[in-house]
Every structure is written in C-alpha cells, then in structure tokens.
C-alpha cells in the first residue's frame, strides 16, 4: 500500500510473456521492475507494532504507533540501528536499550510501482482486426502490484472495482480509499492487459490476478488513462446523422423569436387614455384562519381509501 519511489534497477525473475505485442517483452523495461521495496524510518520507542517471533514479520500495527500509515501487516523488519534482525528475540533485546529512538529498515510486503510507457492517441476497434485512431490523447503506463501471501498474515482486499464502458472495455469504476489499488489507479482508467495478456472480461482479470499472486506474489497491469475527461465524453456518429443535425440547427436559428417585453410596467401607446396601473405591496396584515378540524375532529370529512 506504498508508492514505489526508488529508481534503483533490480532484476526480476519472471519470464517473458508469450504475446509478441506486449510491452512486457521489452527487456529494458523488465530490468527496471524492482524486486522489492525497502524503506528506513527513525521512530520513538516503543515502536507500537507486534511482530512474528520467527522472522520479525509485522502482524499488527497499533493506532497510536508512529509507524501507523508507514508500515503495514506483512512487512518485515530487516534491521534496527544497522543491526540485522533474524528473529523476534533479537528485536526485543535491541529495542530494550536506553536510546529514545530507533532506526528501522523495513521491507514492504505489499506495494505498487508505476512507470510511464508512452503518450499516444486513443484507438477504437472497428472490426476484429481493424483499429481506428482518434484525436483523443491517452497515456499508457505499467503498474506492478506486489501482494505476496504469507502463512500467518491474511491477504487484504485489493480495493479495485471494474466495469464495462460503452465500448465493452474493462475500466476502473472505483478504488477503495487507502487501498493498494488507490496508489496508482483512478476511476476511468482502462485495463488493457494483465501479465501481458489482453483482458476481455471481469472473470479473466480476476483469474489472472489471483493465479499470479499465488504463483509469484505479483502481477502487472497495462493501463490506458485519458489525459482529459472531455475526450472520453465524445461519441463518434455517422455523417448522415451529422447532416440531419446541421439542418435542424439551421431551421431553429432561422426562426424569429418574439420580442421580449421591457418589464411588468410596459409603456402605453401614444394617444391611449389608459393610465398605468402600478403594483403595490399590500399594507394590511394577512389574516390567519385556524383549521377547524384541529379544534373539532368531528368536522373531518370522510375520504376514500383512507387508512
């Protein structure tokens, strides 16, 4: 649930995908994908987290902890004050020292990393093998999601809701606040590929994500995002419909609109003996009449279909 900000290039052991048109076949891009995401924090003692005794894996973060919002369940404490931690006993001993602060090196278990691929124009599939380029600019970027499942920590919700747009493409409908999907995904983004395979349905996306998490603990999404919302609102229509609309607009513009009056007190015609009548606000107070049925219920009249 943390945004990857490191520019360090590390190797990734995942294989190249079979789709020759996929951007994941770019070897330079694969070298840029990070294998892990580590951060260092300097916090006051006590640190306010619970860890697993076997491998210093965080199992709970207290609400009053200074690490709340910085580390999450499943993250590992690698070192404290530059001393490598191997188990929970070593961590407890070093945290019991007289120092007020501790420097923690954390390896995040769940994180999101993003890279910009290209800025291009939107393409529409007219036929099975025919595409048409539009004038709407879009951005293509790759999102790498790391969600490694552990034995003692349950997987959290990814927080992604998708839907079909008007071209039957799979787009992001909403993302849950503070979820892993909310780091880089936004409503309106179109999901083009998952792990190098083109997405055709919701079930296909769900299957590819779940299978990748169980095998490698990570998956990639190829996202197409509009640069402006105005381009997504445009709908292409045929030429004959445009001609009919232009004719209707010309007819409406040619009609003579009636002249608008000059106000409630319009001027009288010349030679007219009628005097102007000016509206005045009544000076007398309004008379309040009580409702008779409130005073005498017998005055109520019967009503059909009344309960």
CATH pick for 38-107 out of 3.40.1440.60, 2.30.42.10, 3.40.50.300, 3.40.1010.20: 2.30.42.10
DSSP state of 281: -
Whether the CB-CB separation of 72 and 127 falls below 8 Å is answered with: no
Backbone angles phi, psi at 261, to 5 degrees: -65, 165
CATH architecture of 111-231: Roll (2.30)
* Whole-Å CA distances, 120 to 60, 128, 225, 289: 44, 21, 10, 72
Residue 21 has pLDDT above 80, yes or no: no
Backbone angles phi, psi at 2, to 5 degrees: -125, 140
Per-residue pLDDT tens digits for 58-69: 888 898 888 888
Q: Is 188 left (phi over 0), alpha (psi -120 to 50) or beta?
A: left
For residue 62, what are the β-bridge partners?
A: none
Taking the C-alpha atoms of residue 240 and residue 252, their distance in angstroms, rounded to an integer, is 19
Tokens of 5: 């900000």
Close Cβ partners of 23 (under 8 Å, ≥ 6 residues apart): 29, 117, 140, 142, 193, 222
Q: What burial class does residue 267 get, using C-beta atoms within 10 Å of its C-beta: 0-12 exposed, 13-18 middle, 19+ buried?
A: exposed
pLDDT score for 94? 87
Taking the C-alpha atoms of residue 40 and residue 57, their distance in angstroms, rounded to an integer, is 15
For the entire predicted model, the pTM comes to 0.59
Comparing 38-107 with 111-231, is the CATH topology the same?
Answer: yes
Per-residue pLDDT tens digits for 119-178: 888 777 666 666 777 778 889 999 999 887 665 555 556 789 999 988 888 999 999 887
Taking the C-alpha atoms of residue 85 and residue 99, their distance in angstroms, rounded to an integer, is 18
The domain spans of the chain are: 38-107, 111-231
Per-residue pLDDT tens digits for 213-253: 888 888 999 999 988 654 444 556 677 888 888 888 888 88
Whether the CB-CB separation of 198 and 19 falls below 8 Å is answered with: yes
Backbone angles phi, psi at 219, to 5 degrees: -150, 165
């Amino acid at each position: 649930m943390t945004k990857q900000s490191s520019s360090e290039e590390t190797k990734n052991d995942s294989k190249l995908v079979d789709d020759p048109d996929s951007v994941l076949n770019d070897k330079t891009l694969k070298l840029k994908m990070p294998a892990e995401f580590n951060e260092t924090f300097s916090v006051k003692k006590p640190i306010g987290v619970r860890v697993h005794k076997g491998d210093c894996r965080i199992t709970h973060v207290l609400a009053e902890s200074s690490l709340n919002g910085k580390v999450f369940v499943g993250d590992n404490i690698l070192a404290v004050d530059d001393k490598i931690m191997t188990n929970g006993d070593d961590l407890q001993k070093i945290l019991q020292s007289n120092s007020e602060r501790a420097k923690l090196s954390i390896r995040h278990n769940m994180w999101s990393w993003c890279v910009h691929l290209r800025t291009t124009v939107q393409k529409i599939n007219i036929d099975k093998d025919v595409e048409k380029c539009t004038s709407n600019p879009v951005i293509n970027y790759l999102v790498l999601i790391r969600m490694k499942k552990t034995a003692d920590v349950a997987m959290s919700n990814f927080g992604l809701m998708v839907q079909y747009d008007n071209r039957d493409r799979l787009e992001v409908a909403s993302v849950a606040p503070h979820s892993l999907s909310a780091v880089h995904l936004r409503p309106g983004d179109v999901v083009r590929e998952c792990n190098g395979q083109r997405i055709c349905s919701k079930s296909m996306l769900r299957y590819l994500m779940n299978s990748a998490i169980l095998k490698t603990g990570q998956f990639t999404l190829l996202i197409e995002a509009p640069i402006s919302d105005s381009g997504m609102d445009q709908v292409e229509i045929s030429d004959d419909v445009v001609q009919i609309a232009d004719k209707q607009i010309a007819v409406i513009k040619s009609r003579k609109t009636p002249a608008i009056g000059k106000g409630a007190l319009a001027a009288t015609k010349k030679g007219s003996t009628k005097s102007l009548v000016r509206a005045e606000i009544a000076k007398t107070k309004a008379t309040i009449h009580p409702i008779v049925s409130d005073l005498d219920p017998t005055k109520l009249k019967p009503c059909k279909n009344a309960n």
